[in-house]
Amino acid sequence: MADIRKTRCLDRVAAACVLMLCFTCFHVTSLKSQLFTRLGELRYTTEPPIRYKTLFFDQKIDHFGFLEDATFKQRYLVADQHWHQPDGPILFYTGNEGDITWFCNNTGFMWEVAEQLGALLVFAEHRYYGESLPFGKDSYSDGKRLNYLTSEQALADFAVLIQNLKSTLPKAQNSPVISIGGSYGGMLSAWIRMKYPNVVIGALASSAPIWQFPGMVPCGDFYKIVTQDFAKSGYNCDANIRRSWKAINNVSSTASGLQWLSEEFSLCSPLKNKSDVIGFKSWLQETWVNLAMVDYPYEASFLQPLPPWPIQVVCKNLAFDSTVSDQQLLHGVSQAAKVYYNHTGSCPCLNTSQTATGSLGELGWMYQACTEMVMPMCTDGVQDMFEPEEWNFQNFSDECNAVFGIRPRADWADTVYGGKKIASHSNIIFSNGGLDPWSAGGVTENITHSLVSILIPEGAHHLDLRYSNELDPPSVRAARALELKYFQTWIKQHQKATGSATISKNNKITKQNK
């Protein structure tokens, strides 16, 4: 039984340490953060039981060329229990970089408002993730096949799927479609409204860092927010994490120190050399980042089972004065890390390395980060609690070239999606949590009357998309109510323009005249 428990525990920890072996040599700050935090989005716990149909749609592998005419099966999920016909609204989730069932099972906000709106729910899987593999098991075999993994192709997939659904589903021809997504999915939700306003009437982009690109926001803001979360959660918490890096260097300078660190942190594989220490520090850094993303007010399972307000629990182990010894400090750090990796007490050891994984999601996002999703991040060790690391695009590009044989296009997102010049668009809600480091690249102020920002001061990563909880802060309750109000306004505007069916207050179908 102990061996089984250990295996399950290592699997969970391994998920949190995705591609750590790669980080030993491929340790650009930006790419590390994206790989870790993006994977973190995929580990929710399902709340109420839900029912949906799993369907597949033939998509073109290449929407923008005419030589590659092959197709692949795109998976999408449909729930029609609450759909009012004719012409009831469709809430369309723009799938992230992972298995779509994870998002369907856990984007509770959509399930909760479906009945109020009489809406059909559709969750569309992003190409190259989950079961939507353009070249099957060979989709990641070489650069030629990976070449079709772009956000533009994914948006075209979504647009084509929506158009097909509206033309083939009975009495859906005039159904208004609202796109919804969180994080990268939130970026796609905003972008599909921008690129295909004829397809979706509005979008909710939750925790969507559409400005986390070169020249749009300072590269250090992401880690400043992580640091602020820890600074306000406990006495000297951020200061002691900042001090811990030097303490690790000091203690790990001897063989006996490496052994002590390994035992103190209950590592499954002992630290043996400087390279192991680099990986160990990267593991700790991303632990703090992940905690900032999942700092929810209630118990939740993200990458790991965690207590309410987990950073506050972490910081109780780091409330030291500056006079403590390196070993005393690192004992506190080890206890803090175990809040994240071993809150349940069931893990006999912590694994800081990751061997090959069967999931394609992490490698897919790594490829996207090396092509068009170039998100600069940096640290200075002064305004944040991490070791200084500058953003160097050339080094980043060289690493991408070494891994994939490609070079990133630093300014492409600005060119194709408009950067900060998006005022000509309409009907997009940008929601961001004050605790979420990804808000650094998000839209946090109103741009126009219909490009609006909703701020959730006590919110971590797309808290508004999660299931309602009795411990939710008032700010997220208010955010969800306002989001629903915008949805209802957009739907009424569409119905007035088309003369399509509408839903009265008592949920009866009525007809609206042109």
Mean pLDDT value across the chain:
88
For the residues 27-43, what does the mean pLDDT come to?
A: 40
- pLDDT interval class at 1 (50, 70, 90): very low
For the residues 292-305, what does the mean pLDDT come to?
A: 89
Residues of the chain with pLDDT > 90: what percent? 81
Residue 461: the pLDDT is 96
Active-site entry in 295, 384, 436, 464: 436
> CA dist 34 to 40, 44, 286, 290, 371, Å?
10, 18, 10, 11, 13
Residue with the larger pLDDT of the pair 314 and 504: 314
- Helix-helix angle 474-498:108-117, to 10 degrees: 40
Tokens at residue 7, please?
């295996």
Residue 507 has pLDDT above 90, yes or no: no
Domains and CATH numbers, the chain: 53-210+422-498 (3.40.50.1820), 218-406 (1.20.120.980)
For the residues 142-163, what does the mean pLDDT come to?
A: 97
Give the lowest-confidence range in 27-41, 317-331, 408-422: 27-41
- pLDDT interval class at 504 (50, 70, 90): very low
Residue 266: the pLDDT is 95
Residues in the chain: 514
Nearest alpha-carbon partner for 117 in 491, 441, 512, 514? 491
SS3 221: helix
Residue 149 has pLDDT above 80, yes or no: yes
Is 63 noted as a catalytic residue in this protein?
no
Is 461 noted as a catalytic residue in this protein?
yes
> CA dist 8 to 13, 15, 131, 342, Å?
9, 11, 24, 12
Tokens at residue 96, please?
């992230």
Residue 13 has pLDDT above 60, yes or no: no
For the residues 478-503, what does the mean pLDDT come to?
A: 90
Active-site entry in 27, 84, 425, 461: 461
Give the lowest-confidence range in 75-89, 340-354, 458-472: 340-354
Residue with the larger pLDDT of the pair 131 and 3: 131
Residue 223 has pLDDT above 70, yes or no: yes
pLDDT tens column, 246-283: 999 999 999 999 999 999 999 999 999 999 999 999 99
pLDDT tens column, 340-398: 999 988 888 998 864 223 334 688 999 999 999 999 999 999 999 999 999 999 999 99
Residues of the chain with pLDDT > 70: what percent? 86
Active-site entry in 132, 183, 426, 439: 183
Q: Write out the H or E segment, with its range, that includes residue 176.
A: none
Is 436 noted as a catalytic residue in this protein?
yes
For the residues 53-71, what does the mean pLDDT come to?
A: 96
Phi-psi group of 130: left, alpha or beta (phi > 0 → left; psi -120 to 50 → alpha; rest → beta): left
For the residues 29-43, what does the mean pLDDT come to?
A: 40
Residue 346: the pLDDT is 87
Residue 18 has pLDDT above 90, yes or no: no
For the residues 113-141, what does the mean pLDDT come to?
A: 97
